[in-house]
């Protein structure tokens, strides 16, 4: 068809097309960011952060919100707008918060983070958000609900079996775990045992009331906790390892997929 025979769009029609295109673009952008996940702390560059990549692998449409950068006064509104909450790894929980202030010299703490996370955990629980805890996240969840920690495994945990849980030269130090066959974690993974990565010197000691240990290292260290009676309650799983940087179908991908399923069920469109 020659240029002479091409139909000419009327100005009003062209304006309508542009308006429609603009509206469709706005709708697409809104849909892309309508699902929000709160993260207790995102370090470094957003796009390259391992936790963000882990979440967006299983929830590509999710926007991750860094609570650590937000004023405490904004936490209620932010969490109300979110469909899930992930507590990430990082510094030690202040031992004074679980009755062991004398162990402070063994720890590297961040009081701002402890305060923020304690508040956020309470709010997320009241709202009924699906919760996933990772490494420090597992530990502070246990403390927030009344449990205690081993302030330093090498000094304070006695076992006939030696398992190395931290190596400064290897943030993915592997070791074996075994799972409780009655647990949610077993339902998710389908595995009674496996291998996970490890980078921690603290661990859960006394499990908080209402929760149970669902995975253990060979030296008895608790590697995961979950609700004792999860029926009718929001998703809750906390693991000592780092699924966001562990290449495992069972102990990374399946956990991410189950969390994503719970988040989509709880999804809030803003």
Active-site annotation, residues: 135, 242, 244
Q: How many CB atoms lie within 10 A of CB 252?
A: 22
User: What distances in angstroms separate CA 73 from CA 79, 120, 125, one per listed residue?
Assistant: 11, 11, 17
Task: Evaluate whether 26 touches 32 at the Cβ level (below 8 Å).
Answer: no
Task: Evaluate whether 78 touches 67 at the Cβ level (below 8 Å).
Answer: yes
How do beta strands 35-39 and 84-87 pair? Answer: parallel
Task: Evaluate whether 242 touches 199 at the Cβ level (below 8 Å).
Answer: yes
Structure tokens given for 180 = 């409780």
Q: How many CB atoms lie within 10 A of CB 161?
A: 9
């Amino acid at each position: 068809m020659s240029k002479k025979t091409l139909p000419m769009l009327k100005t009003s029609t062209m304006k309508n097309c542009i308006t429609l295109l603009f509206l469709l673009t706005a709708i697409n952008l809104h849909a892309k960011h309508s699902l929000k996940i709160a993260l207790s702390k995102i370090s470094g560059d957003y796009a390259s952060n391992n936790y963000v990549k882990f979440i967006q692998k299983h929830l590509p449409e999710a926007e991750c919100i860094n609570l650590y950068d937000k004023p405490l006064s904004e936490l209620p509104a932010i969490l109300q707008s979110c469909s899930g909450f992930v507590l990430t790894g990082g510094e030690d929980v202040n031992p004074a918060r679980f009755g062991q202030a004398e162990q402070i010299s063994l720890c590297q703490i961040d009081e701002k983070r402890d305060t923020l996370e304690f508040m956020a955990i309470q709010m997320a629980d009241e709202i009924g958000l699906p919760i996933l805890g990772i490494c420090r996240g597992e530990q502070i969840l246990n403390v927030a609900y009344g449990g205690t920690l081993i302030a330093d495994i090498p000094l304070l945990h006695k076992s006939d079996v030696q398992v190395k849980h931290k190596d400064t030269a290897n943030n993915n130090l592997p070791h074996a775990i075994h799972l409780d066959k009655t647990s949610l974690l077993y339902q998710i993974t389908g595995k009674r045992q496996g291998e996970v990565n490890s980078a921690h010197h603290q661990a859960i000691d006394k499990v908080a009331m209402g929760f149970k240990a669902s995975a253990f290292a060979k030296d008895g260290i608790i590697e995961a906790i979950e609700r004792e009676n999860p029926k009718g309650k929001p998703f809750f799983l906390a693991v000592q390892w780092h699924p966001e940087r562990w290449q495992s179908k069972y102990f990374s991908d399946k956990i991410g997929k189950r969390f994503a399923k719970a988040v989509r069920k709880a999804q809030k469109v803003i």
